[in-house]
Amino acid sequence: MTQQSRDPRQVVEILSEALPYIQRFSGKTVVVKYGGNAMTEQTLVDSFARDMVLMKEVGINPVVVHGGGPQIGDLLSKLKIESRFVNGMRVTDAETMDVVEMVLGGLVNKGIVNLINQCGGKAIGLTGKDSGLIRARQLKVHHQSPEMTAPEIIDIGHVGEVEHVSTELIEMLTARHFIPVIAPIGVDGQGRSYNINADLVAGKVAEALNAEKLMLLTNVAGLMDRDGTVLTGLTTEQVDALIADGTIHGGMLPKIRCALDAVKGGVVSSHIIDGRVPHATLLEIFTNAGVGTLITDDANPSIS
């Protein structure tokens, strides 16, 4: 159905359903981790940018944290720099870190900013190095095989974790009606740069801002049980139990831990949502059905 042929009554019904959500979340902060298919398929890219602008227009304060792993890999390949991974994390020497900063802080970040601005928003691109936004420390990777008596610490270079998030710059920008777009690069006390997992940065930014929501866009429909059914409306205790019994495992585990930690750290709710669905963020916020997994500390959340 085209926009011209849509039944006006259908439009009114959609707006009516969205009204209580708009009223509840106006003035609140929503941190969105943007990556995966939503960042690479053009129709999804366009819908994401429009979603951020609409959220801002109805009084919600979106803060975007983006990834860019595939784009980093593509440029490293063109430069004939080998990509190596340990436990799924890119080994990042000084030369690779230069490429990471060019891609995340430049190409990807400015591309997202431009798209949001083209849709009528006012986006500002940042990295964690701006105004000391993200203070980082080197991530220690431990490896232990059955024959080892003690774990081995592996140095994977400029890969970091978040030590502290300074919210002053973000709060100043959102108060002036800008949409901050943050590349997940941090800096330590000696000025060394670190590449940080975007999910982790989004979670820590959401905690520091006391955000209403953390939304992690993924390439799956959400957290699924053993039968393939999407689970939602989960409490932190239920998620802990699903981790303990092995239902949550593999690649989904770090993302779920990030969402879980954010809620335990004060974020009202975390959402694992299907970034392959156009306008996924609006569907999750403004409709009764949603498009993913909701995690809260409340067993009976009202309009979460």
> One digit per residue, pLDDT tens: the chain, 304 residues?
445 566 777 777 778 888 899 999 999 999 999 987 778 788 888 999 999 999 999 999 999 999 998 999 999 999 999 888 887 788 899 999 999 999 999 999 999 999 999 999 999 999 999 999 999 999 988 655 556 555 667 788 999 999 999 999 999 999 999 999 999 999 999 999 999 999 999 999 999 999 999 999 988 878 887 777 888 888 888 888 888 888 887 778 888 899 999 999 999 999 999 888 899 999 889 887 677 888 998 744 544 5
Give the pLDDT confidence score for residue 40 in this predicted structure.
78
Domains (ranges, CATH) in the chain? 25-296 (3.40.1160.10)
Query: Is residue 165 within a helix (H) or strand (E), and if so which, with residue range?
Result: strand 160-165
Give the pLDDT confidence score for residue 8 in this predicted structure.
75
Give the pLDDT confidence score for residue 258 in this predicted structure.
92
Other Cβ atoms less than 10 A from the Cβ of 112: the count is 24
pLDDT digits (tens, 9 = 90+) for 60-112: 999 999 999 899 999 999 999 988 888 778 889 999 999 999 999 999 999 99
Q: Which residues contact 151 (CB under 8 A, 6 or more apart)?
A: 142, 143, 144
> Is residue 251 within 8 Å of residue 279, measured between CB atoms?
no
Give the pLDDT confidence score for residue 124 in this predicted structure.
97
Q: What is the distance between the alpha carbons of residues 244 and 239, in angstroms, rounded to a whole number? A: 9
Give the pLDDT confidence score for residue 146 in this predicted structure.
59
Structure tokens at 246: 């092995």
Q: Which residue has the tokens 């970034």?
A: 275
Answer positive or negative: Cα dihedral of 86, 87, 88, 92: negative
